[in-house]
């Protein structure tokens, strides 16, 4: 995490390249979004009224201490990709729309690349990361056994319940993405075990 000295009056935090630092989305000291889509300090914004986003960063950091950082990096990248696609497929989570509205009460037309869009879905991404980081749940997600896969789907729905069902046409896509996401994270975890990879 950044030391307080990194924050200069009025100009926010030093800006980072988020792809190389995707484990630091929030400065928990200042309750400030410093992560994805922050291209200059003016894009940083206050999260004081959105403690669940700050909490998600604490949880993200705990996952990093518990698991191999390579695994958590793969979890972040794949869950992030998955969740932004899910949102495009109208996977509706009530809290997310509410968060987005609280982040920008006067502006309902948030631009697609606005960092507030990334912040609004960050708690779901971290919840999903903790599920895929577990080799037990990953194994069930990748299983060819229908009963095992159903167990994984039930756990996903318990942790990340949706407000309304996906369109019929989006359901096969959703199930396929669950498996693909698990497989990509699993493959990255396996690669990290090869000699010479640090």
Residue 121 to residues 32, 76, 143, 146, 186: CA-CA distances in angstroms? 15, 12, 27, 29, 23
Burial class (CB in 10 A: 0-12, 13-18, 19+), 106: exposed
30 binds Zn ion (CB under 5 A): yes
Q: Which residue is nearest to Zn ion (CB)?
A: 27
Residue span binding Zn ion (CB under 5 A) among the ranges 23-31, 111-119, 138-146, 177-185: 23-31
- Between residues 9 and 144, which has the closer beta carbon with respect to Zn ion? 9
Residue span binding Zn ion (CB under 5 A) among the ranges 29-37, 112-120, 158-166, 175-183: 29-37
Q: Tell me the closest approach of the beta carbon of residue 6 to Zn ion, in angstroms.
A: 7
Residue span binding Zn ion (CB under 5 A) among the ranges 20-28, 53-61, 73-81, 140-148: 20-28
96 binds Zn ion (CB under 5 A): no
Other C-beta atoms within 10 Å of 26: how many?
24
Token pair for 46? 């206050």
Binding residue (CB under 5 A) for Zn ion from 29, 58, 102, 159: 29
Exposure class string for 27-66: b at 16+ Cβ within 10 A, else e = beebbbbbbbbbeebebbbebeebeebbebbebbbebbee
27 binds Zn ion (CB under 5 A): yes
Residue span binding Zn ion (CB under 5 A) among the ranges 24-32, 100-108, 121-129, 137-145: 24-32
How many residues line the site for Zn ion (CB under 5 A)?
4
Q: Report the distance separating Cα 14 and Cα 46, nearest Å.
A: 15
Q: Tell me the closest approach of the beta carbon of residue 3 to Zn ion, in angstroms.
A: 8
Instruction: Give the binding site for Zn ion (CB under 5 A).
Output: 7, 27, 29-30
């Amino acid at each position: 995490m950044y030391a307080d000295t990194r924050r200069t009056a009025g100009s926010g935090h030093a800006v980072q390249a988020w792809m190389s630092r995707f484990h630091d989305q929030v400065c928990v000291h200042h309750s400030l979004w410093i992560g994805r889509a922050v291209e200059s300090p003016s894009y940083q914004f206050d999260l004081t009224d959105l403690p669940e986003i700050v909490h998600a960063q604490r949880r993200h950091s705990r996952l990093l201490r518990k698991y191999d950082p390579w695994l958590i990096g793969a979890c972040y990248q794949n869950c992030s990709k998955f969740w932004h696609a899910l949102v495009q497929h109208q996977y509706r989570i009530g809290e997310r729309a509410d968060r987005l509205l609280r982040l920008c009460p006067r502006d309902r037309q948030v631009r697609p690349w606005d960092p507030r869009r990334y912040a609004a879905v960050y708690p779901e991404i971290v919840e999903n990361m903790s599920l895929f980081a577990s080799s037990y749940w990953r194994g069930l997600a990748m299983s060819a056994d229908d009963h095992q896969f159903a167990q994984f789907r039930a756990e996903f729905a318990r942790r990340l319940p949706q407000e309304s069902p996906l369109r019929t046409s989006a359901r096969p896509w959703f199930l396929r993405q669950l498996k693909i996401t698990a497989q990509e994270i699993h493959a990255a975890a396996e690669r990290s075990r090869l000699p010479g990879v640090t």
